[in-house]
Amino acid sequence: MLNLFKAFVSNSQNKIIMKKITVALLGFLSIVSLANAQKKKTSGAIQFENTVDPAAMASASGIQLTDQMKARMPSSSKTNFELLFTATNASYMPVEDTEDSNGAGGGGGGMGRMMMRFGGAGGNREYYYTFADKSLTEVFDLNDTTYYMPGKLTLSTSGPISSFRMGGGNSKDSTKAQPAQAPKIDVVKTDSTKQILGFTCHQAIVRSTRAIKILDMDKNVVEETKIWYTNDLGFDFSPNPNMWTEGIVLAIEGRGNSTIAKSIEYRNVSAKDVTAPKKAKLITPEEYKTKMESMMKRFRQNRPGGGGPGRGFGIN
């Protein structure tokens, strides 16, 4: 009888010990599972959609268009971009050809694509971000050469669109594009919020005021761009690296040009996908500016009525 009692007590103790071990194991697995879930959220992909209205963009920058020029432009042009991110780096690039209202990828879409390429954000460019120092590397093709240009996330003082004016030093020559003075930039952080992809985004309004000269007439152009950002993702990014104030920008709304995040997926991203290609030639912002001014000069000279034979130039 005593032996039977001892066996019962021993069996009960074993069950208690096993139960404690099971509870501890389940608790450990729960912690590991939670850690893995949190870890997965440090990498993934966000899809963005950029919509461009070339005529509205031109009007916002003070450029006067003829009815014929407007008729040749698409009413809108959409391009999809993908942001791949890890805990330390990210890459941002287009994922398919531009679609425009005059037919997918064809005809009148050229102006919209040209404006994006000259504007510096989007187009066929690729951007590689390093979160630690907010640096980025811009990779693009120019005259059959692949370049990379270092930079940083910033709020540009050159305005939402490259600042050029028609007419300048020579009042009798209205065909020469001349750099305009840097506009006055004001940033106003409002109390407005809205949900994008389940994140609470805060609004910052960037107001650009600049003086331009069109056909020898002085004019002040005021343009507002709304930036929607969140700090909930834990890193800094903007689909336009020249339109950034803080956090990750999930939407940029300007006159004739808007970009908004459409979806997010947490998944593994390889380091290779967020690392800039090594086979590219270094170009500084100053060298790039000189090249672009030279190309614009050739373009003006070679266009019909510009003083030279019609000959195109390419930006890939």
Residue 176 to residue 168: CA distance in whole angstroms? 7
- Does residue 116 have a pLDDT over 50? no
- pLDDT-derived band at 137 (thresholds 50, 70, 90) equals very high
- For residue 121, the model assigns a pLDDT of 42
Q: Which residues of 163-196 are buried (b: 16+ CB within 10 A; e: fewer)?
A: bbbbbbeeeeebeebeebeebebeeeeeeeeeeb
Amino acid, res. 230: T
- For residue 62, the model assigns a pLDDT of 61
| pLDDT (tens digit per residue) in 69-78 | 777 776 778 8
pTM above 0.85, yes or no: no
The candidate with the shortest Cα–Cα distance to 227, out of 198, 197, 196, is 196
Maximum alpha-carbon separation in the chain = 120
Spatial contact of 42 and 86, defined as CB atoms under 8 Å apart? yes
Residue 183 to residue 218: CA distance in whole angstroms? 14
Q: Which residue has the tokens 């994140």?
A: 199
| Beta bridge partners of residue 93, listed in sequence order | 82
Residue 206 to residue 215: CA distance in whole angstroms? 28
Spatial contact of 78 and 98, defined as CB atoms under 8 Å apart? yes
Classify 236 as helix, strand or coil.
Answer: coil
- pLDDT-derived band at 142 (thresholds 50, 70, 90) equals confident
Task: Please calculate the CA angle 138-135-92 and round it to the nearest 5 degrees.
Answer: 45
Name, of 11-25, 52-66, 159-173, the range with top average pLDDT: 52-66
- For residue 217, the model assigns a pLDDT of 77
| pLDDT (tens digit per residue) in 167-206 | 334 444 444 445 556 778 889 999 999 999 999 999 999 9
- Does residue 166 have a pLDDT over 90? no
The candidate with the shortest Cα–Cα distance to 61, out of 175, 161, 156, is 161
Classify 171 as helix, strand or coil.
Answer: coil
